[in-house]
Amino acid sequence: MSYGFVLPYTVLAAVFGVFPALYAVYLAFTDGAGGFAGAANFTKVFDDFRFLPAVGHVATFLLTWLAALVVLVTFLAVVVHAVRVRWLSRTLRLVFYLPGAIAGASSVLLWLFVLDPTASPVAGLLRLAGFDRFNEVIGPGNLPPIFAIIAFWTGAGGWIVIMYGALNNISQEMLEAARIDGASAVQIAWRIQLPLLRKWISYMAIMSLAAGTQLFVEPQLLSQASNAVVPNDYSLNQLAYLYAFQQNDFNAAAAVSLLLLIIALALSAVFVTRGGLFERD
């Protein structure tokens, strides 16, 4: 019976995950005629003037987003867990979770209005910050925090709910003993709850890292909406898209995707080892 539950996932993972990844590896090391190309496709990508700026853009976005995600999600989950009024706790969880229902392109389209001083519900704040036009708001220097805010708005709620569930698994006897010993709420959070959430925080960072390296929808839609004020090669995924569908160079596109995979795996390994994700309690 257990094999029957696992089989559909295994088949789908192989067809839409493993096999495409192996085919990308094949493309990355061959030329257009199918001959072995060695590192030629990677050299071509490294020599492209668009590559290093795209790496910098994605790296800045990831640092901003992951820092905000780890700090704010953990903080908000602890705060919601500390709320003892049941209806208020449920309401807060629902409010945090709802933005995640508006995902992908729909979320970005919503943010196009929020970021436009002529139509935004927070136009006063944008003008107070010195922005009078949409193109000023989405200037190149503002894009990493903007993309981080969009990603946080759509993804943080689900992680808050997950962290809340992890906090519920902490022994109440342990927390009560700490209170009896005179520990404050801040001390309990810092010395008990956060250490016990370490594995969940690492898991959140790994999954968010995997999603963040695939940055594509946000800059792509902003590029179209701003008449290329945001370049269409802003992220590595966009660069791979241009290689594949504008230059008809699927081998170079596969090289970019393989580089993304290697970087994501290396960083994930750091979170796994430092976060003790597979350690037994």
For 107, residues 6+ apart whose C-beta sits below 8 A from its C-beta are 99, 150, 153, 154
Query: Could you tell me if 60 and 143 are in contact, meaning their C-beta atoms sit under 8 angstroms apart?
Result: no
CA dist 188 and 176 (Å) reads 10
Helix, strand, coil % (nearest 5) of the chain?
75, 0, 25
The residues spanned by each domain of the chain are 58-235
SS3 30: strand
Q: What is the pLDDT of residue 135?
A: 84
CA dist 108 and 151 (Å) reads 9
Q: How many CB atoms sit inside 10 A of residue 115's CB?
A: 23
For domain 58-235, the CATH architecture is Orthogonal Bundle (1.10)
Q: What is the pLDDT of residue 280?
A: 66
Q: What is the mean pLDDT of each run of 10 residues along the chain (281 residues)?
A: 82 89 92 88 94 93 90 90 83 80 72 85 86 85 88 86 89 87 86 88 88 88 81 92 93 93 86 74 59
Burial 35-71 (b: 16+ CB within 10 A, else e): eebeebbbebbeebebbebbbebbebbbebbbebbbe
CA dist 1 and 5 (Å) reads 7
